[in-house]
Structure 1
Amino acid sequence: MVKSREWSRKTREEVITLHRKGNGYKKIAKMLNIPRETIGSIIRKFKAKGTVEMLPGRGRKEMLTSTAVRYLKHRVDKSPCVTAEELRKDLSDVGTEVSAQTIRRTLRNEGLHDRTPRRTPLLSPKNKKSRLQYAKSHVDKPQKFWDSVLWTDETKLELFGPMDQRYVWRRKNKAYEEKNTLPPVKHGGGGSIMLWGCFASAGTGKLQRVQGTMNSLQYQEILDDNVMQSVTNLRLGRRWTFQQDNDPKHTSKSTRAWLQIKGWNILEWPSQSPDLNPIENLWWDLKKAVAVRKPKNVTELEAFAHDEWAKIPVDRCKTLVSSYASCLKAVITVKGCCTKY
C-alpha cells in the first residue's frame, strides 16, 4: 500500500478556515488543488478530535522492545561475527519472534552495518609489543627525519586480479558466448608480476620487476641497481635512512652483511606491520591505475605499471609521509594492534 501524503499544518488549517466560511468539499479541493477525499478526511478529523495536529500512534508499530534492541547491540559488540539468523534464534528462545531482516534493519537504524571484515595480519602478543615499542620510540622524530626515509617494498601485480573486476551485460544462458567471456592470458607467465619499488616524501623512486622467485642474492642486486640512484634522484642527502620489512631475504645473514658493507642507516622494523609502511598506499594506487587501463598481457602489465608509477603525484607521496606521526600515534592508542593506515 502506498503511503499517503502528509499535508502541512498550514494547509490543514486553511482547509478548516474555508470550511467554516461555508465552502463545500468540492470547492475547497478546487481552491487548494487538493483531492476532495483528502479535504473530507481533514474536516472529519477536526470534527472528531478538535485539532489538525498530527496525533500520536500513527505509523508502523515497533516490533522489538527497547530491551531487545539493547540486547542486540550488546551481542554484536561482543561478537561482531554473529549472524542475523543466530540473533533471530536467540530472540526466539526468549519468546520474541521476528525475522532476520527485521534484525538487520534494527541494527542498521542503530548505526551498525554488516560489512566485509578488513584483512589484517595475525598479530601475536610479541608482535603487538614490538609494534608498540617501535611507535613509542619513533613518534617524536622530527618530520625532517621521515622526509629523508627511502621506503621500500615488493608487491604482486596480477593481470586479471581483484583490482580489475570486470562485468558483462548478458542474457540468461548466454554466459559462454564468445563476446561474454574473457580471453586467456597471453605470454602471462602465470598472469602476474612481482615488483620492487621505493619512494620518499619527494616522490616515487625506481621500480623494478623481480624475475622468478627472489632470493637474497637477487634482492641485493636489486638494491644495488636502484637504491642509490633513487636517493640521488629524490635528493635525500647524505643522512638518509633505508626502510625494509623483515622478509627472510631482507634479513638473511648474507643480506645483513651486504648492508653492513654499504653502511646505510637502516630503520628498525617490527614484524607483521604492513600498515606502518606508507608505500602500501601507493601499491593500492598503482593497482587501481593499471586496472583501469586493462592490460591484455604481462608485457603491457609491466609497461603500464612503470608508466603509472611515474605519474603518482609528489603531493600524494608528501602527504603519506607527513601523516606518519599520526600513524604511530594510532598504534600507541590501540596498544600495538593494527590501524587503518
Structure 2
Amino acid sequence: MNKNAKDSNSVDISVVIPLYNEEQSLAELSEKIAAAIDNYSFEIIFVDDGSTDSSWEVITDLNQNSSRVRGIRFRRNYGKSDALQTGFEEAVGKYVVTMDADLQDDPQEIPALIEMLKNDYDLVSGWKKKRHDPITKTIPSRFFNAVTRFTTGIRLHDFNCGLKAYRKEVIDSIYLYGEMHRYVPLLAKWKGFDRIGEKVVNHHPRKYGKTKFGISRFLNGFLDLLTLLFVNRYMRQPMHFFGSMGVLFLIVGLGISGWLAYLKIFLNQSLSNRPLLFLGILLILLGVQFFSIGFLGEIYNQGQVKQEKPGIAEKKGL
C-alpha cells in the first residue's frame, strides 16, 4: 500500500524498528509489541539495513500474516540513522516509537511513553538505568552520555537508548544521517521541540545473536556531535567563526611582522636567522585564508551536502 493512500488518522502509533541480522527475534518482538499496544491502532515498520541472514524472509512472512506489519529492505548496510530516517518517512501514526530489534527494549514500556506524550511532551527518551550489557559497552556509553549532556545542555541520562517516543511533527522536522540517531533530542530542541522527557525503562539481556556494538561507533558519534554543534552555531553566519579566526591570525601576524620591520629599519638587526619572521608570514597567510573561507561561506551559506539516500530493494505492505 502506498503511504500517501493510507489514512494517517487511522493509526495511533507507528513503531519503527531498524535491524541488521536479527532473524531470530523479529517474530517474538512483533508479538510482544502487538500485545503491549493492542488498545491502540498501530503499525510496525521493520527497516532491514542490508541483513545477510533471513531477516527479510521473516519480515515478509509477518507482513503476509498481518497488515499491521510493514517492511523496508536496503540493498546494503547504511547504518542505523539512515534506517530510522527511512522509517520516519514511511510512518503515518500520530505518535512514533523507535526501538531496537534485539528484544532488549521492552514493548511493555510503550503505553507509558505514549501517555507522557499526551501530557504535552514532544519527545520522551528511555533511560536504561539498569543495563544488561558488558562493561566494554556500558563504560564508554556513560562517558559518551556525560560529554553529550555537558555540551548540549540536555539533561538526559541515556542519549543512545533505542526506545524513544515522538510526536509525528518532531520526526517530520528533522533529518538523520551518519550517527545522528544519537542526537535526535538535540535536533528536536533546535527545531523548537524543547519539551523533552525521560523515563526509566526495563532493559533485558540479549536473547539471540550478538551485539553490533563497536568502539568506532562512539568515535563517529563524537565527530557527529562536533559537526552538529558547529553547524548549528555557524552554518548561517560562517564569518563569525572563520572571520574571527582570520582576524586574530592577521593581527598577531602583522604585529610580529611590524616588530621585525622596526628592528630591521631602525636598529639594523639581521632577520635571516629569526624563525619569528616565518611565523609572522605564516600567520598572515592563515589569516587571509580563514577570512576568505568565511567570506565564501557567507556567499554560499545555504549550500548543504546532499546526503546519499539508501537504495531500497523491496517494500512489504507499503
TM-score range, shorter chain: under 0.3
TM-score by length of 2: 0.26
Larger Rg: 1
Whose strand proportion is higher, 1 or 2? 2
